[in-house]
Amino acid sequence: MRGVRMGLVLGVALSIWAQGAKAQTTGAAPDTLRPAGADSIRVGSSVLTTEPSGIDTAGAKPLSAKQEALRRTIIPRKATLRSIMLPGLGQAYNRDFWKIPLIYAGIGTSIYFLVDNNREYLKFENAYRVAYNDTTNGPGQGTALVYIRSRKSEQRLGIAQLKSATSLYQRYRDMNVIITVALWALNAVEANVAAHLKTFDLSDDLTLRIRPNVRSVGGTAVPGVRLTLNFKK
């Protein structure tokens, strides 16, 4: 019995060795890659093929006529240029009419203070020139009458006081210029962003598809995986 068992074991071992040698001599490795066609490759017993479309739109719902018309009508570049030409015009183009009063409230307030501070600056600058040229009490000792709004009366101020007030209102005026330009630019940026978001899908109705794909790299077909994210409306 022991000799029979040893014979069976040796027979099985020789059979396995023979099958392995045969596979090596034929070179038919089942897991090697070899071309299966112009647009496909074979991996073992599976064949990966490319598809004519780079984006999988299967199952995507078509846009309604109203949505399609809105998507084609609103162009971010046009909205931006219109807001640069006239504040609020880009928002009207995007049909965001409720934003127009807010834009004009901000820019209008800034322009109002700009004009007011410039008026005060010119008033104190003129008074400073008068006091500087006044040599009645000696060089640098001149004075000038100027209306003070906080006191609602005219007062005679010296050169140092007039120079300080002139510099103060000049800084206020320059600051209002910067604020006005910043609000104008912000109005254009907002119009551009809103125009982009008009056609951007923010809903939860999204699908992600994972499919095998074949890419050509250096003339060689290479298998891969394609991720397709569908935005539905």
In which residue are the tokens 């496909």 written?
Answer: 40
β 33-37/153-158 pair status: unpaired
Distance CA(127)–CA(141), nearest Å, equals: 13
Write down the pLDDT at residue 184. Answer: 96
Query: Could you tell me if 145 and 123 are in contact, meaning their C-beta atoms sit under 8 angstroms apart?
Result: no
Distance CA(59)–CA(230), nearest Å, equals: 9
Write down the pLDDT at residue 4. Answer: 42
Question: pLDDT category, 197, cuts 50, 70, 90?
Answer: confident
Q: Which residues pair with 213 in a beta bridge?
A: 224
Among 55-69, 137-151, 173-187, the range with the most confident prediction by mean pLDDT is 173-187
Residues shown for the chain: 233
β 143-148/46-49 pair status: unpaired
Question: pLDDT category, 128, cuts 50, 70, 90?
Answer: very high
Tens digits of residue pLDDT in 102-126: 999 999 999 999 999 999 999 999 9
Q: Which residues pair with 158 in a beta bridge?
A: 143
Q: Structural domain boundaries of the chain? A: 65-198
- 4-16 average pLDDT score: 51
Which residues make Cβ contacts (< 8 Å) with residue 69, sequence separation at least 6? Answer: none
137's torsion region: left (phi>0), alpha (psi -120 to 50) or beta?
alpha
- 159-176 average pLDDT score: 94
Tokens standing for 137?
A: 């009490």
Write down the pLDDT at residue 82. Answer: 94
Give the single-character DSSP code of 55: S
Choice among 125-129, 139-143, 165-169 with the minimum mean pLDDT:
139-143
Question: pLDDT category, 165, cuts 50, 70, 90?
Answer: very high
Nearest-Å Rg of the Cα atoms of the chain is 41
Write down the pLDDT at residue 200. Answer: 65
Query: Could you tell me if 89 and 103 are in contact, meaning their C-beta atoms sit under 8 angstroms apart?
Result: no
Tens digits of residue pLDDT in 207-232: 666 677 777 777 777 777 676 656 55
